């Protein structure tokens, strides 16, 4: 079976041929895609690659093509959040992460599909139709960063950026059999990331192996004065991964392996835990008792923030504008036509949760639960180094299977959202297959301890073969 | 005599002050100097509310707000936080305004003003920071507009909203409070009242313990007084006819001098406040002592100093310090001439003449004022002539000596000097010519001639100036 190409492979190939050649071959793959992960190709990608060739730079991502989720602002490249309401919007500025990638020599391949405004877990709410799962194109790629995951798993981009508000890089990574990291809140600047739920989300790297994810982290992480929630901390992610995990203490949250989890998924996760034991780690059972309230808390907070964040899309300054005899009619019609059902549902629920008379009952209570959930992680991680469990309760579901039943779709986020409430880092790595579909192992760490989870993920990856399996037809 | 407030008027004010002396806006690096610029030229992704842009707190705005709070005798909060105030309006680019809610930066202050019956303490409930929206411009008149344009240059300007308790008892007291507040803000150098829209007032008013109405967006102090006079009259008439005042928001129509209903309580917005997740709470209290040290002398303290240092009457001290530029002007004049006489001339005469012409003290210079006062002190012109010189200068320009000469305002003795000057010039055309060519000694010769003619009664410096002004 043909190989996925990782960053070091790309760099060798560039030495043999050129960055231009590498970019062209990826664009060719995108044009012949079976999974439709991309929503736009960067018209200047080849030009940028040529420029890299002429510069002969050896910066870490020199000539490496990268796919960008469509909620990350890219100067001169349409950025729509997969929503009709941002039709025609071309940002006049680059997000902080894009500036860093470009400085490091990366070539922006294009923009990838997502659930509209990152609201979803399957990329089915994308206004242009879903990205498909390369392992089975009748199944979803996961979401909301489904386009980025599909692109990487299909070999159309060696690495990609996604964003994770409640599991949005980990879910599609798990469903598509790739690696994705949700960094500690405050590690990667959100400047230029179009907000869904500001207090929860982080931009995260996605790739075919742990090392690539760490390499991209080295480039995009770091303090940015334009994001007030960005932390001053210097880290070297790729360097930290190689140390072994001898003596590492792993906690297994009992709530993450509840009856609701597909038994085959449970089996893969247990196999992984035993593998870690073979590698010198120890494990014990821990409890995150407030997990059962996390999902409701998460959705109330996320929808409340979203209801405010999305107020700016009123047809006045950019994007879609409907006709109307006055401003209020124009703005209402623009929003009625521009937003999809799921977005409208979340705006309405969030508006309700913040309204006078309900604010304390919903929003404030959700914040209190958030504090409790955070306490759960603090306690569990005070006696262990990392926590492990399944990223998703099941394998990728069939297209259309859950989209008509929002609640069942929300439930698929049960193991990923507590991490965002707590702000801790988490990585998803392939840990086996169930029903021929990939299964993801989630490794969660303490605040700013990406090192431990990257190291655990890397050791596991280097001592297993799951990440070497490729979807059929991937070149 | 105690003021018994016959109608039971209670007025509380909310004043939006643009911190327009800052260099940059509240949450971005855009310049605040947008007045007289093309629309939408002082904007960036942050103040335009573009998707993905994030706010960063302007520390200068935080400290300016704290200084205002300290000057208004407020307590500084330990921890301050920003909230989002959610509402839709075309001039509000994000669909919410970043403001403060339950953790305002300062609260519980007081300001003493001159009330109807002596000093009145007006309590300050709180002051909080927020951002200004953009500005809408109607194409053509508002009723026959072809459309509305939006200028976001103002968007994101730092505002401080100062809220008083309902301690004011008459429109006059409200206006005095506003004047005093403006004065304090200018002393602090955080605010320039001359810029358009720099201070906007919402006034809450009730009479006889009834429901209050809120009159929104009044743009001048005079407007506030007029709006309140109208609103008291309206509420009284309503009650007289057996009606009830309902809680509502009203708009002040400046041109017609009336208030009209905007919305009733049932139609009030639910702003759905929640903490701004893009900003982190600020610890500010530890800056208090440093900022206290940097506070300039404030109007009341300066007034007291004028009384003790210059021996001027309280009334003059108040008038002089009620505008920082006048106070600065006075102190420069007082350095050169008798401070008490100077106080009378600046506070009573100059200020009155300036007000009458809607001019500021910038229109007059210190040296001219000193010369006029000196002439009066030396008994060369009368008080009345001094006033006339000031009026003439304000209306048609010129320098004091010339005006005195042209209008024949000089007292008898001085007219001797004046004729001597004329004679000396006439008789010594050659010397005048030499001086015009740059021969400095010729001037000494001419002055000497005048001294001779007047037998030494003239002041050589004055003579010199007189000669120069007449031969040029």
Euclidean distance between CA atoms A425 and A185, whole angstroms: 8
From chain A, the residues in CB contact with B54 under 8 A are 190-191, 226-228
Shared domain check, B284 and B302: no
From chain B, the residues in CB contact with A360 under 8 A are none
Euclidean distance between CA atoms A153 and A207, whole angstroms: 8
Tens-place pLDDT, residues A268-319 = 999 999 999 999 999 999 999 999 999 999 999 999 999 999 999 999 999 9
Q: What is the pLDDT of residue B383?
A: 86
Picking from B45, B274, B279, the nearest residue to A228 by CB comes out as B279
- The HSE-up count of residue B388 (CA atoms within 13 Å, CB side) is 16
From chain A, the residues in CB contact with B51 under 8 A are 73, 79, 81, 86, 89, 91, 194-195, 312
Which site among A311, A339, A362, A371 would you substitute to test the B interface, given the most B Cβ atoms closer than 10 Å to its Cβ? A311
* Nearest chain B Cα distance for residue A297, angstroms: 15
Contact yes or no for B50 and A363 at CB 8 A:
no
Euclidean distance between CA atoms A293 and A366, whole angstroms: 9
Q: Estimate the crossing angle of helix A19-31 against helix A45-55, to 10 degrees.
A: 160
With CA atoms as reference, the chain B residue closest to A194 would be B52
From chain B, the residues in CB contact with A318 under 8 A are 50
Question: Considering the domain boundaries, does residue B3 fall inside one?
Answer: no
Shared domain check, B372 and B246: no
Contact yes or no for B93 and A199 at CB 8 A:
no
Shared domain check, B270 and B200: yes
DSSP A427-452: EEEEEEEETTEEEEEEEEE-TT-HHH
* Number of C-beta neighbours around residue A14 at 10 A: 20
Which site among A224, A312, A347, A349 would you substitute to test the B interface, given the most B Cβ atoms closer than 10 Å to its Cβ? A312
Contact yes or no for A355 and B86 at CB 8 A:
no
Element (H, E) at A207: strand A202-207
Q: What is the pLDDT of residue B410?
A: 75
Element (H, E) at B110: strand B106-115
Q: What is the pLDDT of residue B418?
A: 84
Euclidean distance between CA atoms B154 and B142, whole angstroms: 21
Instruction: Please answer whether residues A338 and A324 qualify as being in contact, where contact means their C-beta atoms are separated by less than 8 angstroms.
Output: no
Nearest to A380 by CA among A297, A448, A285: A285
With CA atoms as reference, the chain B residue closest to A73 would be B52
Question: Considering the domain boundaries, does residue B360 fall inside one?
Answer: yes
DSSP A362-377: IIIHHHHHHHHHHHHH
Instruction: Please answer whether residues B279 and B131 qualify as being in contact, where contact means their C-beta atoms are separated by less than 8 angstroms.
Output: no
Contact yes or no for B95 and A312 at CB 8 A:
yes
* Nearest chain A Cα distance for residue B277, angstroms: 5
What ipTM was predicted for this assembly? Answer: 0.95
Q: Which residues pair with A390 in a beta bridge?
A: A441
Shared domain check, B334 and B417: no
Residues near B118 by beta carbon (within 8 Å), at least 6 away in sequence: none
Query: What is the set of active-site residues of A?
Result: 69, 144, 168
Which CATH code of 3.90.1300.10, 3.30.1310.10, 3.20.20.150, 3.40.50.300 fits the domain covering A7-247+424-468?
Answer: 3.90.1300.10
Residues near B84 by beta carbon (within 8 Å), at least 6 away in sequence: A308, B96, B97, B98, B99, B272, B273, B274, B275, B276
Element (H, E) at B135: strand B135-139
Q: What single-letter DSSP state applies at residue B103?
A: S
* Nearest chain B Cα distance for residue A225, angstroms: 8
Instruction: Please answer whether residues A119 and A343 qualify as being in contact, where contact means their C-beta atoms are separated by less than 8 angstroms.
Output: yes
Q: How far, in whole angstroms, is CA B382 from its chain's centroid?
A: 33
* Number of C-beta neighbours around residue A338 at 10 A: 24
Tens-place pLDDT, residues B296-328 = 999 999 999 999 999 999 999 999 999 999 999
Euclidean distance between CA atoms B156 and B49, whole angstroms: 9
Distances (CA, A) of B287 to A294, A347, B76, B215, B386: 39, 40, 9, 36, 50
From chain A, the residues in CB contact with B270 under 8 A are 355-356
Question: Considering the domain boundaries, does residue B234 fall inside one?
Answer: yes
Contact yes or no for B84 and A81 at CB 8 A:
no
* Number of C-beta neighbours around residue B8 at 10 A: 12
* Nearest chain B Cα distance for residue A471, angstroms: 35
Shared domain check, B175 and B55: yes
* Nearest chain B Cα distance for residue A240, angstroms: 30
From chain A, the residues in CB contact with B274 under 8 A are 304-305, 308, 354, 359, 363
Q: What is the pLDDT of residue A3?
A: 53
* Nearest chain A Cα distance for residue B280, angstroms: 7
Instruction: Please answer whether residues B168 and B113 qualify as being in contact, where contact means their C-beta atoms are separated by less than 8 angstroms.
Output: no
Residues near A409 by beta carbon (within 8 Å), at least 6 away in sequence: A120, A121, A122, A402, A403
Picking from B52, B84, B148, the nearest residue to A193 by CB comes out as B52
Nearest to A272 by CA among A434, A135, A152, A445: A434
Contact yes or no for B95 and A311 at CB 8 A:
yes
Q: What is the pLDDT of residue B417?
A: 82
Euclidean distance between CA atoms B86 and A437, whole angstroms: 44
Residue B2 binned pLDDT confidence (cut-offs 50, 70, 90): confident
Instruction: Please answer whether residues A299 and A119 qualify as being in contact, where contact means their C-beta atoms are separated by less than 8 angstroms.
Output: no
Shared domain check, B105 and B48: yes
Altogether, the residues listed in chain A come to a count of: 475
- The HSE-up count of residue A198 (CA atoms within 13 Å, CB side) is 25
Residues near B301 by beta carbon (within 8 Å), at least 6 away in sequence: none
Question: Considering the domain boundaries, does residue B2 fall inside one?
Answer: no
Element (H, E) at B433: helix B429-436
The beta-carbon contacts of B277-280 under 8 Å, at least 24 apart in sequence, are B277/A197, B277/A198, B277/A199, B277/A229, B277/A305, B278/A190, B278/A195, B278/A198, B278/A227, B278/A228, B278/A229, B278/B54, B278/B55, B279/A228, B279/B55, B279/B57, B279/B81, B279/B82, B279/B98, B280/A228, B280/A229
Contact yes or no for A192 and B52 at CB 8 A:
yes
Residues near A371 by beta carbon (within 8 Å), at least 6 away in sequence: none
Positions in chain A whose pLDDT score sits under 50 = 1-2
B257, B292, B327 - which closes a domain: B292
Picking from B49, B96, B272, the nearest residue to A355 by CB comes out as B272
Residues near B440 by beta carbon (within 8 Å), at least 6 away in sequence: none
Shared domain check, B429 and B328: no
Lowest mean pLDDT among A398-402, A464-468, B120-124, B222-226: A464-468
Contact yes or no for A311 and B279 at CB 8 A:
no
From chain A, the residues in CB contact with B39 under 8 A are none
Euclidean distance between CA atoms A213 and A425, whole angstroms: 13
Domain-by-domain residue ranges, chain A?
Answer: 7-247+424-468
From chain B, the residues in CB contact with A196 under 8 A are none
Burial code (b: 16+ CB inside 10 Å, e: under 16) for B30-56 equals bebebeeeebeebbbbbbbbbbbbbbb
Domain that holds residue B316: 297-403
Contact yes or no for A93 and B277 at CB 8 A:
no
Euclidean distance between CA atoms B160 and B68, whole angstroms: 9
Strand runs labelled E in A263-346: 282-286
DSSP B333-347: HHTTS-HHHHHIIII
Residues near B77 by beta carbon (within 8 Å), at least 6 away in sequence: B103, B104, B105, B106, B107, B284, B285
Shared domain check, B349 and B233: no
Contact yes or no for B88 and A328 at CB 8 A:
yes
Q: What is the pLDDT of residue B381?
A: 85
Residues near A35 by beta carbon (within 8 Å), at least 6 away in sequence: A131, A132, A133, A134, A137, A141, A150, A151, A153, A154, A156
- How many residue pairs bridge chain A and chain B with CB atoms within 8 Å of each other? 104
- Which residue would you say has higher pLDDT here, B266 or B127? B127
Contact yes or no for A308 and B278 at CB 8 A:
no
Q: What is the pLDDT of residue B197?
A: 85
Contact yes or no for B50 and A227 at CB 8 A:
no
Q: What is the pLDDT of residue A84?
A: 98
Backbone angles phi, psi at B161, to 5 degrees: -100, 115
Contact yes or no for A228 and B280 at CB 8 A:
yes
B403, B423, B445 - which closes a domain: B403
Shared domain check, B211 and B247: yes
Q: Is B243 helix (H, G, I), strand (E, B) or coil?
A: coil
Tens-place pLDDT, residues B108-119 = 999 999 999 999
Residues near B360 by beta carbon (within 8 Å), at least 6 away in sequence: B325, B354
Q: What is the pLDDT of residue B141?
A: 66
Q: What is the pLDDT of residue A319?
A: 97
Which site among B51, B138, B146 would you substitute to test the A interface, given the most A Cβ atoms closer than 10 Å to its Cβ? B51
Q: What is the pLDDT of residue A1?
A: 30
Q: What is the pLDDT of residue B369?
A: 96
Nearest to B11 by CA among B292, B251, B215, B252: B215
Shared domain check, B332 and B465: no
Instruction: Please answer whether residues A63 and A49 qualify as being in contact, where contact means their C-beta atoms are separated by less than 8 angstroms.
Output: yes
From chain B, the residues in CB contact with A73 under 8 A are 50-52
* Nearest chain B Cα distance for residue A117, angstroms: 11
With CA atoms as reference, the chain B residue closest to A95 would be B52
Instruction: Please answer whether residues A113 and A147 qualify as being in contact, where contact means their C-beta atoms are separated by less than 8 angstroms.
Output: yes
Instruction: Please answer whether residues B25 and B33 qualify as being in contact, where contact means their C-beta atoms are separated by less than 8 angstroms.
Output: no
Mean pLDDT of B96-105: 97
Q: Is A170 helix (H, G, I), strand (E, B) or coil?
A: helix
Picking from A95, A228, A359, the nearest residue to B52 by CB comes out as A95
**Count of domains in chain B?**
3
Shared domain check, B385 and B447: no
Shared domain check, B182 and B128: yes
């Amino acid at each position: 079976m043909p190989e996925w190409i990782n960053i070091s492979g790309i760099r060798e190939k560039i030495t043999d041929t050129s960055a231009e050649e590498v970019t062209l071959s990826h664009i060719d793959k995108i044009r012949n895609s079976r999974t439709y992960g991309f929503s736009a190709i960067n018209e200047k990608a080849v030009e940028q690659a040529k420029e890299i060739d002429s510069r002969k730079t050896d910066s870490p991502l020199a000539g490496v093509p990268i796919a960008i989720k469509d909620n990350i602002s890219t100067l001169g490249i349409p950025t729509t959040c997969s929503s009709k309401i941002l039709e025609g919007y071309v940002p006049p500025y680059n997000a902080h992460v894009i500036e860093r990638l470009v400085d490091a020599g990366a070539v922006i391949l294009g923009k990838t599909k997502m659930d509209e405004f990152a609201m979803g877990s399957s990329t089915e709410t994308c206004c242009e139709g879903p990205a498909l799962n390369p392992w089975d194109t009748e199944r979803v790629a996961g979401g909301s960063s489904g386009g980025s995951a599909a692109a990487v798993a299909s070999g159309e981009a060696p690495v990609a950026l996604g964003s994770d508000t409640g599991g949005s890089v980990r879910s599609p990574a798990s469903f598509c059999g790739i690696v994705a990291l949700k960094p500690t809140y405050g590690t990667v600047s959100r400047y230029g990331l179009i907000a869904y739920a500001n207090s929860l989300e982080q931009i995260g790297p996605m790739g075919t192996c742990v090392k690539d994810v760490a390499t991209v982290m080295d480039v995009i992480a770091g303090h940015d004065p334009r994001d007030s929630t960005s932390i001053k901390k210097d880290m070297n992610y790729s360097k930290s991964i190689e140390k072994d995990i001898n003596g590492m203490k792993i906690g297994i949250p009992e709530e993450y392996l509840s009856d609701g989890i597909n038994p085959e998924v449970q089996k893969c996760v247990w196999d992984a835990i035993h593998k870690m034991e073979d590698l010198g780690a120890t494990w014990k059972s821990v409890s995150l008792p407030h997990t059962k309230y996390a999902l409701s808390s998460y959705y109330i907070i996320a929808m409340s923030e979203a209801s405010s964040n999305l107020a700016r899309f009123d047809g006045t300054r950019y994007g879609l504008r409907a006709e109307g005899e006055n401003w209020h009619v124009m703005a209402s019609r623009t929003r009625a036509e521009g937003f999809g059902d799921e977005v409208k549902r979340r705006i309405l629920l969030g508006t309700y949760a913040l309204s006078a008379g309900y604010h304390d009952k919903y929003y404030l209570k959700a914040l209190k639960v958030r504090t409790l959930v955070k306490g759960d992680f603090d306690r569990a991680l005070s006696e262990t180094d990392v926590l492990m469990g399944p990223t998703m309760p099941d394998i990728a579901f069939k297209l259309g299977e859950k989209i008509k039943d929002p609640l069942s779709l929300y439930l698929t986020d049960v193991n990923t959202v507590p991490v965002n409430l707590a702000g801790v880092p988490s990585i998803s790595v392939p840990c086996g297959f169930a029903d021929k579909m990939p299964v993801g192992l989630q490794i969660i760490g303490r605040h700013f301890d990406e090192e431990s989870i990257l190291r655990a993920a890397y050791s596991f990856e280097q001592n297993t073969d799951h990440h070497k399996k490729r979807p059929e037809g991937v070149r | 005599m105690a003021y018994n407030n016959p109608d039971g008027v209670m007025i509380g004010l909310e004043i939006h002050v643009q911190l327009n002396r800052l260099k940059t806006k509240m949450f971005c690096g855009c310049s605040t100097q947008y007045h007289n610029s093309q629309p939408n030229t002082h904007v960036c992704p942050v103040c335009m509310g573009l998707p993905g842009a994030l706010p960063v707190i302007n520390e200068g705005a935080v400290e300016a707000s704290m200084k205002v709070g300290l000057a208004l005798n407020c307590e500084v909060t330990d921890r301050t936080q920003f909230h989002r105030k959610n509402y839709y309006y075309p001039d509000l680019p994000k669909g919410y305004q970043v403001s403060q809610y339950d953790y305002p930066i300062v609260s519980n202050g007081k300001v003493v003003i001159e009330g109807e019956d002596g000093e009145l303490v007006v309590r300050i409930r709180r002051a909080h920071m927020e951002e200004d929206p953009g500005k809408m411009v109607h194409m053509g008149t508002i009723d026959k507009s072809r459309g509305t344009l939006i200028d976001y240059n103002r968007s994101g300007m730092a505002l401080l909203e100062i809220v008083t308790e309902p301690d004011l008892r008459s429109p006059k007291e409200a206006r005095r409070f506003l004047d005093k507040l403006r004065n304090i803000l200018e002393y602090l150098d955080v605010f320039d009242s001359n810029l358009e829209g720099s201070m906007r007032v919402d006034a809450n008013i009730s009479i006889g313990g009834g429901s209050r109405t809120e009159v929104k967006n009044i743009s001048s102090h005079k407007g506030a007084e007029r709006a309140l006079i109208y609103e008291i009259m309206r509420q009284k008439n309503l009650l007289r006819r057996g009606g009830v005042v309902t809680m509502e928001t009203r708009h002040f129509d400046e041109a017609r001098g009336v208030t009209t209903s905007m919305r009733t309580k049932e139609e009030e917005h639910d702003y759905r406040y929640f903490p701004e997740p893009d900003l982190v709470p600020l610890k500010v209290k530890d800056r208090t002592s440093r900022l206290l040290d940097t506070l300039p002398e404030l109007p009341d303290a300066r007034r007291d100093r004028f009384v003790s240092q210059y021996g001027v009457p309280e009334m003059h001290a108040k008038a002089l310090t009620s505008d920082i530029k006048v106070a600065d002007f006075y102190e420069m004049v007082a350095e050169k001439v008798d401070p008490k006489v100077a106080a009378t001339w600046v506070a009573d005469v100059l200020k009155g003449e300036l007000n009458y012409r809607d001019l500021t003290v910038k229109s007059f210079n210190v040296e001219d004022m000193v010369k006029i006062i000196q002439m009066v002190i030396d008994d060369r012109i009368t008080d009345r002539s001094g006033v006339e010189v000031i009026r003439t200068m304000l209306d048609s320009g010129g320098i004091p000596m010339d005006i005195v000469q042209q209008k024949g305002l000089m007292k008898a003795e001085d007219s001797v000097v004046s004729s001597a000057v004329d004679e000396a010039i006439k008789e010594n055309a050659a010397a005048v010519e030499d001086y015009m060519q740059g021969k400095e000694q010729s001037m000494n010769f001419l002055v000497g001639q005048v001294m001779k003619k007047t037998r030494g009664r003239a002041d050589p410096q004055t003579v010199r100036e007189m000669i120069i002004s007449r031969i040029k």
